[in-house]
Structure 1
Amino acid sequence: MASISDSEFLRYQRQIALPEIGDSGQSKLKKARLLVIGCGGLGCSAIQHLACSGVGNLVVADGDTVEISNLPRQILYTENEVGLPKVEATKKAIVRLNASTKVRTINKRLEGSQLELECMMADLVLDCSDNFETRQAVNLACMKSKTPLISGAAIGWDGQLSTFLYQDSQPCYHCLYPINESQPDMRCSDAGVVGPVVGIIGTHQALTAIRIITTGKAAESRLTLFDGLSMQFHQLKVAKDPACPVCNTNSDTQEE
């Protein structure tokens, strides 16, 4: 396990002081390799906290460039970075926040075998994408390698968070949201979103990742819902779909 230097102890002493983390947990963060898919509002908030908490290795994937309309909620970027690839601007921000964090960038949308390989190499995957198709593809890739997935989404005043561990008795993302071709894919660009809602969900994704890495504990299969208008959180237990074509091991075929 990666050891903690004196300077690292001084830097992270406030979280090392927590009995659930300690030197051992901080060493686990330093050794951890996390894949963040999407450097939008969710990704920016999650990445900021992951880097500052001492996660040693981050792989960030996004094929978009920074736009002026991103700035109200994508807090890693500045006006001077409009037009730059998001992953390039993200790497600059990570280095600024914590030069010890190693960053690898993927300036395109992850798909197919490359998506599966990146998920397999990661200790945890944070899905911070903004579309249903990508979320389903990431779920399938993580299921194949049994890599824990922390999925977040936000639109309007509402946000949601769920964690999938791909154990036999637990559901996957497809169990929660089966593919429905007739249902339109709602995006922030169409329906709008409040910046702090995105930040809250992205921060919770980072918190969940830190908890899993340091303590080995993940919440039960639950969907956490946040209502920004009422400032209330709700949790719903999610059941495994015995007929799910993705995670049902007894199914004759699995979706590709």
Structure 2
Amino acid sequence: MTDDQLLRYSRHILLDEVGIEGQQRLLDANVLVIGAGGLGSPAVLYLASAGVGRITLVDDDAVDLTNLQRQIAHTTERLGQPKALSAQQAVAAVNPDVLVRPVVVRADAQALGELVAAADVVLDCTDNFQTRHAINRACVGHGKPLVAGAAIRFDGQLSVYDPRDAASPCYACVFPPQQDFEEVQCATMGVFAPLVGIIGTMQAAEALRLLLGVGTSLAGRLQMLDAKTMEWTEMRVRRDAACPVCAGRGELSRGRAG
């Protein structure tokens, strides 16, 4: 670690739970952030400011004027630019030492296979059900922890799905792919601007804690925020033994443990 890095990350290094060794783990880490919008903007900025060395940022959308109400990584000057490239510029302004790999593609199964395999932690900052399930399948398949957030209107939610833990549910255990969920998006339903900041920042915090091994992750717990009252509700969630995505993973994990 250089002298500049020791100074830049000094407030982390002062924490007993982080120290120089923990900060070095962050510098060596590779985090995959899927979605560079309302959730991805604060998530990627905090990951970068905290010193995560490599960030792969996936988004196939372009910056639109309606995004600027809440997507803080983007600016008026970058209207029309791909969001992944715009967020790369935002990160460079905060911490030029972070290597950001912008990937301007839709996060389909083929792309996710390669990207998830190379990551230490994955953040789902997307806003559609089909992509969320594709991300979850890739994370289960490659054994990578997934930090999933969502925000619409005044309602936010957050959880961690960690296939390294046989007791941890996957996203499909909690939100079965065969169920008919109503697809709601900001374009039609609206979203309270600071809500995406709250949830996206917490996604970054969960990712950093996973990388550092600090505290207890949200695996097995779904946290929900009502931003009209600023009240949090927590629900315990369990792995579904009949889950079409992770059932086999649970059996294999128990077999190795025995």
Aligned-pair distance for 1:163? Answer: 0.2
Which residue does the alignment assign to 2:185? 187
Query: How far apart in 2 are the matches of 1:168 and 1:14?
Result: 35
The answer on whether the counterparts of 1:139 and 1:173 sit within 8 Å (CA) in structure 2 is yes
Please tell me whether residue 213 in structure 1 is matched to residue 211 in structure 2: yes
Q: How does 1:1-256 map to 2 (within 5 A)?
A: 4-166=1-163, 167-180=165-178, 182-215=180-213, 217=215, 218-249=217-248
Aligned-pair distance for 1:250? Answer: 8.0
The answer on whether the counterparts of 1:128 and 1:151 sit within 8 Å (CA) in structure 2 is yes
Q: Normalising by structure 1, what TM-score? A: 0.94
Q: Normalising by structure 2, what TM-score? A: 0.93
The answer on whether the counterparts of 2:58 and 2:104 sit within 8 Å (CA) in structure 1 is yes
> Which piece of structure 1 moves more, 176-185 or 141-150?
176-185
Letter in 2 for 1:64: D
Aligned length: 248
Letter in 2 for 1:235: E
Gaps of 5+ in 2: 251-258
Gaps of 5+ in 1: 252-256
Query: How far apart in 1 are the matches of 2:6 and 2:173?
Result: 42
> Which piece of structure 1 moves more, 242-251 or 9-18?
242-251
Query: How far apart in 2 are the matches of 1:225 and 1:250?
Result: 27
The answer on whether the counterparts of 1:153 and 1:160 sit within 8 Å (CA) in structure 2 is yes
State the Cα deviation string for residues 150-197 of structure 1 (Å, max 9, x = none). Answer: 000000001000101112222100000012454321111111101100
Letter in 1 for 2:210: I
Query: How far apart in 1 are the matches of 2:28 and 2:124?
Result: 20
Aligned-pair distance for 1:216? Answer: 5.3
The answer on whether the counterparts of 1:21 and 1:215 sit within 8 Å (CA) in structure 2 is no
Aligned-pair distance for 1:15? Answer: 1.4
State the Cα deviation string for residues 39-70 of structure 1 (Å, max 9, x = none). Answer: 00000010010011111000000000000000
Aligned-pair distance for 1:108? Answer: 1.1
- Cα 1:242–1:42 change in 2 (3 A) is same
- Cα 1:110–1:183 change in 2 (3 A) is closer
> Which piece of structure 1 moves more, 61-70 or 11-20?
11-20
Q: Percent identity?
A: 41
